[in-house]
């Protein structure tokens, strides 16, 4: 029975993975994906926005499939496949391999793959993609620890925690929950006396240490950029931010799966409240409550991006698999139906959505043809300049033979060649319906010109797909301020 179920699950997930790979290979990169691809072309110990794991994954994928959409996204599709099995076996361990463990494990896997977070994350590469994978391995390591009682699993838990942190800083929330469990549970306190736990902690720290080193050499910019958000305080908009947070999770999990998640949290909380819980149940509860408290606290001061909560989804499906018995079939069917619709819309745009509300169009539409239009509009002997990291990265990806210069404060933290070329064509999004002059004083990027109004527009280029305009851009023939190269805020994107 067990082997038959695993075989069926493997075949089902394998077919799903093939579909995801086809979609991933067929859709243009989003601006953020192109930006992370730039990271992979010039790897470093860490980066301005995130730790380096996303760059490493993209590098590995491109070594297999070249600098293509599939190369950038391949490991995301593969990780969703492999991570599903880590969840399957984690649930069995958390359920102590009771007779219904296979069924509960299967439900957890199906729920995970039926969420938009994983369904979209398997075809779009972001830092959340490796993060979710290593959360899955972390849960499996914890399950193994509970079931086998072997302290050697602390080494695996430490490695998973370090790799999760190397993917995205929010992994610290689950590590905090694990640390709290070690302090307040009897089983956890018993492990504090074991060298394996501390060895795992040292291993996690060693894996994450390159990020600390990089930050120490760059004014702690990445840690301050991400960690500084916790100090925001804007209670007058707390209700709006909390509503957005709730709505985002209903959307990313799909509505019925969200209900299942809520039922699971409530059921587990009741178990904790009545003190009828096991040590592993307490850990699962803390892995949800600690991050939720942090997200709610942050929502009092600023917007919580919906994808930040994604690291909880592997934990939530484990809880749902163990504690939820209602709505499951409906949730899974609706979840996969929504994902299928998203895939079809991405590929064929069958729903006539208004351009202003079409997120897929805004992020993914028409980048290849747009890049060729830019290539034709800019003389071959002139460089292309942009201060928008996503736009510049898209042009770098789809115009590999052109020289692309990026300007802006963030680029001084990148170990890229300095862009000494001062003359070129600057491209930006059109802010008004009519083309406008480019002010010399705008961001301090440009050298003075004879025209008091600034640089005149040299044309506009539309990015569109299926006759829908995603964005209009303006071109300007400019001279850059030489100061940018001196202070490292003008860089050349690697070919």
Rounded CA-CA distance 62/25 in Å is 12
Rounded CA-CA distance 451/462 in Å is 27
SS3 at position 123: coil
C-alpha distances in Å from residue 232, one per residue of 49, 287, 301, 309: 18, 24, 5, 18
pLDDT values of the chain reduced to their tens digit, one per residue, 495 residues: 467 899 999 999 999 999 999 999 999 999 999 999 999 999 999 999 999 999 999 999 999 999 999 999 999 999 999 999 999 999 999 999 999 999 999 999 999 999 999 999 999 999 999 999 999 999 999 999 999 999 999 999 999 999 999 999 999 999 999 999 999 999 999 999 999 999 999 999 999 999 999 999 999 999 988 876 555 666 778 888 889 889 999 999 999 999 999 999 999 999 999 877 789 999 999 999 999 999 998 888 788 888 999 999 999 999 999 999 999 999 999 999 999 999 999 999 888 888 888 999 999 999 999 999 999 999 999 999 999 999 999 999 999 999 999 999 999 999 999 988 889 999 999 877 777 899 887 678 999 988 888 999 999 999 999 889 999 999 999 999 999 999 999 999 987
Rounded CA-CA distance 52/215 in Å is 12
Nearest by Cα to 162 from 201, 216, 215: 201
- Residue given tokens 């794991």 in the structure block: 53
Helices vs. strands in the chain: H and E counts, helices first: 21, 6
Segment (H or E) for 389 = helix 389-398
Retrieve residue 168's tokens.
């995205």
Answer for the pair 264, 314: CB distance below 8 angstroms, yes or no: no
Nearest by Cα to 113 from 140, 89, 81: 81
Q: How many Å is the Cα radius of gyration of the chain?
A: 24
Output the pLDDT for position 121: 93
Angle between helices 2-26 and 328-348 (to 10 degrees): 30
Output the pLDDT for position 227: 73
Count the residues in the chain.
Answer: 495
* Backbone dihedral angles phi then psi of residue 208, each to the nearest 5 degrees: -85, -10
Sheet holding 457-465, edge to edge: 457-465, 468-479, 423-429, 383-386, 404-407, 490-492
Our measurement of the distance from residue 276's CA atom to the centroid of its chain's CA atoms, rounded to an integer in Å, reads 36
Answer for the pair 374, 399: CB distance below 8 angstroms, yes or no: yes
Output the pLDDT for position 277: 78
Question: Going by C-beta distance under 8 Å and a sequence separation of 6 or more, which residues neighbour residue 192?
Answer: 182, 183
Rounded CA-CA distance 144/453 in Å is 68
Rounded CA-CA distance 461/428 in Å is 10
Nearest by Cα to 383 from 359, 361, 407: 407
Rounded CA-CA distance 420/484 in Å is 9
């Amino acid at each position: 029975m067990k082997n038959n179920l695993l075989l069926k699950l493997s075949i089902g997930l394998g077919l799903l993975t093939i579909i995801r790979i086809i979609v991933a290979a067929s859709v243009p990169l989003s601006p953020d994906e192109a930006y992370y691809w730039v990271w992979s072309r010039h790897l470093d110990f860490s980066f301005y926005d995130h730790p380096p794991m996303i760059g490493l994954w993209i590098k590995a994928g491109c070594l297999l499939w070249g600098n293509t959409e599939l190369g950038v996204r391949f490991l995301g599709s593969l990780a969703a496949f492999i991570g599903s099995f880590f969840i399957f076996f984690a649930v069995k361990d958390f359920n102590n391999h009771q007779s219904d463990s296979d069924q509960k494990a299967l439900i957890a896997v199906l729920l995970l793959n039926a969420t938009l977070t994983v369904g979209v994350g398997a075809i779009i590469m972001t830092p959340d993609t490796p993060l979710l994978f290593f959360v899955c391995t972390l849960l499996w390591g914890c399950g193994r620890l509970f079931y086998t009682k072997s302290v050697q699993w602390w080494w695996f838990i430490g490695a998973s925690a370090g790799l999760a942190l190397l993917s995205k800083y929010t992994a610290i929330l689950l590590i905090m929950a694990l640390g709290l469990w070690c302090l307040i549970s009897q089983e956890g306190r018993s492990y504090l006396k074991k060298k394996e736990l501390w060895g795992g902690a040292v291993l996690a720290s060693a894996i994450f240490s390159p990020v600390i080193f990089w930050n120490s050499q760059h004014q702690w910019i990445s840690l301050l950029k991400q960690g500084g958000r916790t100090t925001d305080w804007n209670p007058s908009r707390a209700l709006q931010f909390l509503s957005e947070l709730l709505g985002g999770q209903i959307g990313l999990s799909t509505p019925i799966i969200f209900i299942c998640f809520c039922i699971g949290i409530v059921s587990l909380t009741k178990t904790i409240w009545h003190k009828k819980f096991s040590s592993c149940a307490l850990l699962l509860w803390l892995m949800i409550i600690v991050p939720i408290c942090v997200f709610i606290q942050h929502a009092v001061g600023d917007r919580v991006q919906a994808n930040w909560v994604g690291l909880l989804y592997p934990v939530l499906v484990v809880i749902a698999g163990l504690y939820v018995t209602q709505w499951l079939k409906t949730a899974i069917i609706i979840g996969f139906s929504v994902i299928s619709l998203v895939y079809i819309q991405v590929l064929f745009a069958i729903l006539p959505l208004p351009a202003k509300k079409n997120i897929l169009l805004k992020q993914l539409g028409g980048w290849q043809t747009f890049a060729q239009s830019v290539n034709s509009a800019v003389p071959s002997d002139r460089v292309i300049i942009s201060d928008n990291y996503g736009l510049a990265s898209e042009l770098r990806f789809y115009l590999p033979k052109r020289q692309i210069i990026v300007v802006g404060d963030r680029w001084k933290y990148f170990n890229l060649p300095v862009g000494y070329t001062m003359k070129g064509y600057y491209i930006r999004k059109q802010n008004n319906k009519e083309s406008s002059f480019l002010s010399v004083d705008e961001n301090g990027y440009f050298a003075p010109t004879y025209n008091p109004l600034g640089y005149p527009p040299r044309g506009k280029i539309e990015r569109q797909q299926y006759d829908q305009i995603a964005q209009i851009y303006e071109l300007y023939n400019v001279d850059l301020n030489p100061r940018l190269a001196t202070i490292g805020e003008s860089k050349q994107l690697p070919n």
